[in-house]
């Protein structure tokens, strides 16, 4: 079980967001970000809302995998792909400044998660031993627009935690580096539907829901992915806002 009970980051207050957004800020916050605005963000236009992403602890299952790859579903040694509903995650890493957001080029984004049966790779745990396997782990370097893209699967569950995916962002500096760690969450209703399918269904539905997860209650709403479904699986996009100074 992750010992993930400390929130380290900070979400901007409504007053701070309005100050940064200017005259249109109040209307934006009242109405939310429209689908058109989200589409514009994915095309590379300036973000409409620029906020700091909440930081959360990495938990006990982080491993320095050193696997530079976009598709993290396969174990590189055995060549076996983990079964599950395909999920494409598109990230944009941004530096949050008073003038707005600036894309961060060359940031290292790590992703790691459990498989459909609730197992992490390359760790020894009271429930399992997967040392030597490296499925569902990998990293990408962001491009000049701050973007990184991963193909993975919808995660399963394990006791004590809501369904989630871990991520870490690292940036090299001249004097010292910068590191940021957090987790993504999913809507419970979506998880209910996905986990009713194979190969998730064989584990039953005894998972911890978001409202029962202490860490989710400390920033999880701001870290919940907006997931879209298509004929090939699921897709989600998320802007990771970092306060570097």
pLDDT tens digits for 11-33? 333 343 333 333 333 322 233 33
The residues spanned by each domain of the chain are 14-242
Assigned CATH topology for domain 14-242? Protocatechuate 3,4-Dioxygenase, subunit A (2.60.130)
* pLDDT tens-digit map of 63-109: 998 999 999 999 998 999 999 999 999 999 999 987 788 999 999 99
In this predicted structure, the answer to whether residue 9 has a pLDDT above a threshold of 90 is: no
In this predicted structure, the answer to whether residue 118 has a pLDDT above a threshold of 80 is: yes
Three-class DSSP labels, the chain: CCCCCCECCCCCCHHHHHHHHHHHHHHHHHHCCCHHHHHHHHHCCCCCCCCCCCCECCCCCCCCCCCECCECCECCCCCCECCCCEEEEEEEEEEEECCEEEECCCCEEEEECCCCCCCCCCCEECCEECCCCCCCEEEEECCCCCEEEEEEECCCCCCCCCCEEEEEEEECCCCCCEEEEEEEECCHHHHHHHHCCCCCHHHCCCCCCHHHCCCCCCCHHHHECCEEEECCEEEEEEEEEECCC
In this predicted structure, the answer to whether residue 180 has a pLDDT above a threshold of 80 is: yes
pTM to 2 decimal places: 0.80
- In percent, the amount of the chain with pLDDT more than 90 equals 71
What pLDDT is attached to residue 32? 31
- In percent, the amount of the chain with pLDDT more than 70 equals 79
What pLDDT is attached to residue 140? 97
In this predicted structure, the answer to whether residue 115 has a pLDDT above a threshold of 80 is: yes
In this predicted structure, the answer to whether residue 173 has a pLDDT above a threshold of 80 is: no
Mean pLDDT score of the chain, rounded to an integer? 83
More confident residue, 30 or 240: 240
What pLDDT is attached to residue 3? 42
What pLDDT is attached to residue 221? 96
**Where does the pLDDT of residue 49 fall: very low under 50, low under 70, confident under 90, or very high at 90 and above?**
low
**Where does the pLDDT of residue 47 fall: very low under 50, low under 70, confident under 90, or very high at 90 and above?**
very low
């Amino acid at each position: 079980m992750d010992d993930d009970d400390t929130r380290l980051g900070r979400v901007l207050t409504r007053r701070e967001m309005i100050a940064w957004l200017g005259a249109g800020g109040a209307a934006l916050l009242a109405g939310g970000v429209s689908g058109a605005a989200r589409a514009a963000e994915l095309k590379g236009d300036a973000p409409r809302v620029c906020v700091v992403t909440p930081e959360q602890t990495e938990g006990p299952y982080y491993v320095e995998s050193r696997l530079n790859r976009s598709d993290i579903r396969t174990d590189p040694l055995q060549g076996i792909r983990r079964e599950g509903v395909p999920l494409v995650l598109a990230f944009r890493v941004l530096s949050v400044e008073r003038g707005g957001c600036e894309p961060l080029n060359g940031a290292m984004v790590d992703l790691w998660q459990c498989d459909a049966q609730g197992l992490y790779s390359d760790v020894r745990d009271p429930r399992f031993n997967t040392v030597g396997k490296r499925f569902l782990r990998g990293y990408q370097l962001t491009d000049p627009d701050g973007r990184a893209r991963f193909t993975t699967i919808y995660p399963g569950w394990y006791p004590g935690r809501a369904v989630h995916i871990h991520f870490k962002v690292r940036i090299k500096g001249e004097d010292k580096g910068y590191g940021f760690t957090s987790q993504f969450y999913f809507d419970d209703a979506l998880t209910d539907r996905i986990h009713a399918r194979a190969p998730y269904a064989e584990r039953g539905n005894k998972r911890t829901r978001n409202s029962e997860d202490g860490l989710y209650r400390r920033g999880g709403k701001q870290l919940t992915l907006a997931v879209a479904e298509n004929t090939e699986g699921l897709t989600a996009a998320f802007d990771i806002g970092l306060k570097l100074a």
